[in-house]
């Protein structure tokens, strides 16, 4: 292994460690307590508008971050040449983004308070996008440790601020959702400033300038990635926007949906980091015409196995988990929660096969798949939301995620000529049946270690441990598979 490869692996481990330490804590402690403090209705408004701003986020980036990361890594001297031009381009895209968000907000009839919240969230999205661009420069210069720290800096600052807001009694009143958004703005602004000066110290900055030819070159290369990002953001994030707009109590229903979505969001962080590891591996193997079938199988098993345990476990322990996390709307959230957590199996599949197709350059197929996903999602939401409220939107999300995941598997099978692995399919069926039985019998265990309210917790721990053992007994997991990942890395 070369010096650069060793440096990459070591810093990748550091990046994963920091992200797994900070981000789940933020989602499960800070974000959760904020929702409990501001109540479901107010958080539902925030969550719907956040997803709306996220759908339009691709306009802020337009593939620039990925282009810049690769470009600077290959040509460090271009940092000085391109930095000022790309900063101006990002600012121009931010202006287009804010104007578009304002117009769309008027069209769907947001009032002054909602428009103010949406524009502030839009500004936060700009800061997030700008931080990602600055990080692409840092990573491109192979400053991996610095990039790892910057990757969690915003969340770390936000955790500190929110600890004071939630438990420090600094406001002298109840926490408002706008306080939370202002805290985000502060954290993102400080991180952007720090990252900007880090990059500035590495470049001989002269003045801000941009040419039309340079901008068109960037747009031309990044357009297919931008389209894919926007389409996937739409079918992943439109649900709560439609719930909030279509129902008389839309804000509260969006808040209930957010309660069920939170753990899915936390679980997907693992898949995102996993995909980030796989993309360069797949790209290298495809470039050198190596077979990717064995690695795809290994990666799929390693991600889908915990996905199945999580999805099945949430069906059996839904009410208990929701009661542990929240103070209100437990009954409704308990119905929505397992439906959304079942999406984790589909999204895990997408992160494997979607990453493979991206590495191979099958963007046309992926864009058609994503467009189909939007059509399915919007159609089902229009039919189900008026009838089943937030639960209908969760069903729509699960259906969309499963169908789009299946489409990506079929595309990958056709492109790479994968053989159908009947042995793996049979093993998965046996494993799923075993996990269901383990969950069922775990609820029958009666231990008096804790109070009646918390008596389920030892059962839950026993269930997780038993599923882990069953994964090896059923041969879903084996040590050779884990060694293979390290070998390819």
pLDDT of residue 141: 67
The sign of the CA dihedral 52, 57, 60, 62 is: negative
pLDDT in tens, 198-233: 888 877 655 666 667 766 776 776 677 677 777 777
Distances (CA, A) of 97 to 59, 100, 177, 183, 317: 6, 5, 23, 22, 42
Residue-level pLDDT at 227: 73
Residue length of the chain: 489
pLDDT in tens, 32-71: 888 888 887 788 888 888 877 777 777 776 666 655 555 5
For residue 122, the model assigns a pLDDT of 87
| Of 432, 443, 425, nearest in space to 467 by CA | 432
For the record, the structure tokens of 300 come out as: 């799929």
Rounded mean pLDDT for each run of 10 residues along the chain, 489 residues in total: 47 69 82 83 82 75 60 52 68 83 79 83 88 75 74 90 87 84 94 88 65 70 71 74 84 85 81 70 76 83 90 93 85 92 92 86 86 91 92 93 93 89 92 96 76 77 93 83 52
Residue 411 has φ and ψ, to the nearest 5°, of: -65, -45
> How many angstroms separate the Cα of 438 from the Cα of each of 66, 353, 464, 476?
43, 29, 9, 16
N-terminal to C-terminal alpha carbon distance within the chain: 10
Positive or negative CA dihedral for 472, 474, 480, 484? negative
Question: Shortest CA distance to 331 belongs to which of 389, 246, 266, 401?
Answer: 389
Model pLDDT, residue 209: 64
Could you give the CA distance from residue 324 to residue 190 in angstroms, rounded to a whole number? 34
Q: Is 404 exposed, middle or buried (0-12, 13-18, 19+ CB in 10 A)?
A: buried
* pLDDT (0 to 100) of residue 404: 93
CA–CA gap between residue 482 and residue 465 (Å, rounded): 19
pLDDT value for 3:
46
CA distance 327 to 35: 10
Give the integer Cα–Cα distance in Å for 48 and 56: 13
Asked whether the CA dihedral 232, 235, 239, 244 is positive or negative, the reply is positive
Cα(78)–Cα(66) distance, integer angstroms = 15
B/e letters for 324-357, b = 16+ CB within 10 Å, e = fewer, are: ebbebbbebbbbbbbbbbbbbbbbbbbbbbbbbb
Is 152:19 a contact under the CB 8 Å cutoff? yes
Cα 95 to the center of its chain, rounded Å? 25
């Amino acid at each position: 292994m070369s010096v650069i490869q060793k440096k990459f692996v070591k810093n990748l481990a550091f990046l994963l460690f920091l992200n797994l330490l900070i981000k789940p804590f933020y989602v499960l402690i800070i974000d959760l307590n904020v929702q409990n403090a501001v109540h479901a209705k107010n958080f539902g408004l925030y969550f719907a508008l956040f997803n709306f701003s996220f759908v339009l986020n691709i306009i802020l980036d337009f593939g620039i971050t990925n282009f810049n990361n690769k470009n600077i890594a290959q040509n460090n001297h271009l940092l000085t040449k391109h930095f000022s031009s790309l900063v101006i381009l990002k600012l121009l895209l931010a202006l287009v983004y804010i104007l578009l968000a304002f117009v769309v907000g008027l069209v769907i009839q947001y009032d002054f308070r909602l428009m103010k919240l949406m524009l502030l969230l839009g500004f936060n999205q700009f800061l997030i996008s700008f931080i990602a661009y600055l990080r692409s420069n840092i990573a491109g210069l192979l400053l991996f440790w610095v990039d790892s720290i910057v990757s969690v800096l915003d969340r770390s600052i936000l955790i500190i601020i929110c600890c004071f807001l939630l438990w420090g009694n600094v406001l002298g009143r109840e926490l408002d959702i706008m306080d939370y958004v202002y805290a985000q703005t502060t954290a993102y602004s400080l991180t952007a400033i720090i990252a900007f000066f880090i990059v500035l110290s590495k470049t001989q900055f002269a003045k801000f300038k941009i040419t039309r030819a340079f901008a068109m070159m960037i747009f031309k290369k990044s357009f297919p990635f931008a389209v894919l990002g926007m389409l996937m953001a739409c079918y992943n994030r439109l649900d709560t926007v439609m719930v909030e707009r279509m129902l008389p109590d839309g804000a509260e229903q969006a808040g209930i949906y957010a309660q069920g979505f939170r753990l899915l969001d936390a679980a997907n962080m693992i898949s995102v980091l996993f995909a980030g590891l796989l993309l360069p591996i797949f790209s290298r193997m495809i470039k050198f015409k190596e077979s990717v079938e064995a690695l795809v199988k290994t990666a799929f098993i390693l991600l889908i196995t915990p996905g199945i345990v999580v999805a099945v476990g949430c069906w059996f322990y839904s009410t208990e988990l929701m009661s542990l996390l929240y103070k209100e709307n437990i009954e409704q959230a308990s119905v929505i929660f397992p439906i959304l957590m079942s999406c984790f199996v589909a999204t895990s599949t997408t992160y494997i096969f979607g990453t493979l197709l991206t590495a191979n350059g099958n963007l046309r197929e992926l864009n058609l798949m994503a467009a189909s996903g939007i059509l399915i999602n919007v159609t089902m939401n229009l039919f189900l939301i008026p009838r089943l409220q937030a639960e209908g939107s969760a069903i729509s999300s699960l259906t969309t995620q499963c169908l789009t995941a299946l489409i990506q598997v079929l595309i990958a099978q056709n492109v790479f000529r994968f053989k159908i692995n009947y042995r793996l399919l049979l093993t998965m069926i046996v494993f799923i049946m075993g996990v269901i039985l383990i969950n069922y019998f775990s609820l029958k265990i009666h231990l008096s270690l804790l109070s009646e309210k918390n008596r389920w917790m030892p059962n839950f721990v026993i269930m997780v441990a038993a599923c882990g053992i069953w994964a090896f007994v059923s041969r879903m997991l084996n040590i050779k598979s884990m060694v293979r990942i390290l070998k390819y890395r």
